Amino acid sequence: MIYRRRLNPSVRRADVNGSLRARLVLSALLVLGTFPSCDLAKIDCLDGDISCNDALLGAIFIPQKIIAYAGSAGVIWVSRDGGLSYQQITPGDPATNYSHIKIVSATRILAGGNNGPNQYIIESRSLESNWQPAFTTTGASLRGLEVLDSGDYASCGSNTPQAEVYYNGPDGNWAISQPTVGSPGGCFLYNGSFYASIFSDPFLYRRESDGSYTVSGTGVSPDVSGVAINGNIIVLVDNSGTQVVRSTDGANWSVHPLTGASLCNEAAYGSGIFAVFCVGSDQFMLSTDGINWNSSPTAPSLALSSVQNITYADGFFYVIGQDSGGNAAAVRTVDFGTFFPDFSFPAGNATARDELIVPASLIPSN
C-alpha cells in the first residue's frame, strides 16, 4: 500500500495564496518600475491567507512624493519627503544655470540648462547623487526638455542662429536635427508626440516614428515661450506679441489676443484654468477655454519679486522664482488671488519644478 501525505487544507490555501500574493507583489513592482508616473493601487491580503502581512504590503506600497526644483548658480533642490525638507545639490558644473528639471522615476532625475554659451543636460540614476553629463552642445542654448512615455529624451535649442532639435532614443545616443532656418521656440509633448517650434512660418514640427519631422503649424509665426495643454486643447504663448495661438488637433491654429498684457512667456493648465504669466504688464492672464482671457486679481509681483516659471501639479498652480529677500522661492495658489509659501532656499533663483509620486520602497537610500 502506498501512503500519500495529505496536506491540511488551510496550509495548502496559505501556500497557494502566499504564492499568488508574491506573484502579485512582484508583478506590481515590475509595473511600477516600468512607468515613470502611475496611479498607486492598494493590495489587500486575501481572506484566510495567514502568510500575508498587511503591514508589510503597506510599507511596500505606501506612496511618497519626490519634488525637485531647478535653480540658477549651478544648483538644484530635491525633496524625498513631499516638501518637508530639501537637499541642495550641485550636480555638475557650478557655472550652469538650470532651467528645466524632470523626475523620470524613483531613481532618475534629468536637469538641463545653459553653461555659458553651451547647452548642458545632466542625469542622476540614483535620485540625487552620482550625476553624469548626459548631453552637451557647444554654442547652443536650451529651450525645452521632455521625457517621453517610451523613456526617450527630447530637447530643443539653438546653435546661433539655427534652431535645433535633440533626441535620445533607445540606443542611448543623441541625434541632432535642424528644421528650416529660424530662431528656436519651445518644444513640448502633445497627444503622445514630440513637437518643436521655430520663430518662422511654418512654425511647428512633429517628430514621426522614423525620426523625421513633418510640418504641423502654418499661417502664423509665434515665438513660442509657454505651453498649456488640456486634453486636445493646446495653447501656445507668443512672446513676440500679446497673444496666444490655440489648437484642438495640433495642425489647425487660431490666434487670440491677450488684451492689456505684454511680454507673456510662461503658461500652465489645471483645475479648469489656463494661466499665462506676463512680466511686462505684471499680471497673470486666465481663461477657461484658451480663447477669452481676463487678468488675475493679484499681480505676480505681490507673490514673488521675480517670476521665472509657472506650473501645475496635484491641485495647485506653482509660481516659481525669487522672493523679495533674494531667496529661491515658490508659492502655490488655486485662484491667483491668494498665494501660500511652498518652497524657499537662501540666496538663489528657482526656475522650474517637477514632482512624482512613487512607492516609498522604490526610493534609494541616501
Predicted pLDDT at 259: 95
Q: Please give the span between the terminal C-alpha atoms of the chain, in angstroms, as a whole number.
A: 62
CB 334 within 8 A of CB 316: yes
Predicted pLDDT at 114: 92
C-alpha cell at 16: 497557494
Predicted pLDDT at 279: 95
Say whether pTM exceeds 0.85.
Answer: no
| Alpha carbon distance 62, 270 (integer Å) | 26
**CA 58 from chain center: how many Å?**
28
| Alpha carbon distance 2, 95 (integer Å) | 80
3-state secondary structure of 9: helix
Predicted pLDDT at 52: 56
| Alpha carbon distance 149, 361 (integer Å) | 22
By residue count, the chain amounts to 366
| Alpha carbon distance 171, 223 (integer Å) | 32
C-alpha cell at 189: 509633448
**CA 214 from chain center: how many Å?**
25
> In order along the chain (366 residues), what is the average pLDDT of each group of 10 residues?
31 34 42 42 51 56 94 95 95 94 96 89 91 85 92 87 87 83 87 93 92 91 95 95 94 96 96 97 97 96 96 97 96 97 93 96 85
Which own/partner pairs from 46-53 qualify as long-range (CB within 8 Å, at least 24 positions apart)?
A: 46/17, 46/20, 46/21, 48/10, 48/13, 48/14, 48/17, 49/13, 49/14, 49/17, 49/18, 49/21, 50/10, 50/14, 51/14, 51/15, 51/17, 51/18, 51/21, 52/17, 52/18, 52/21
> Which H or E element spans position 294?
strand 294-295
Predicted pLDDT at 207: 94
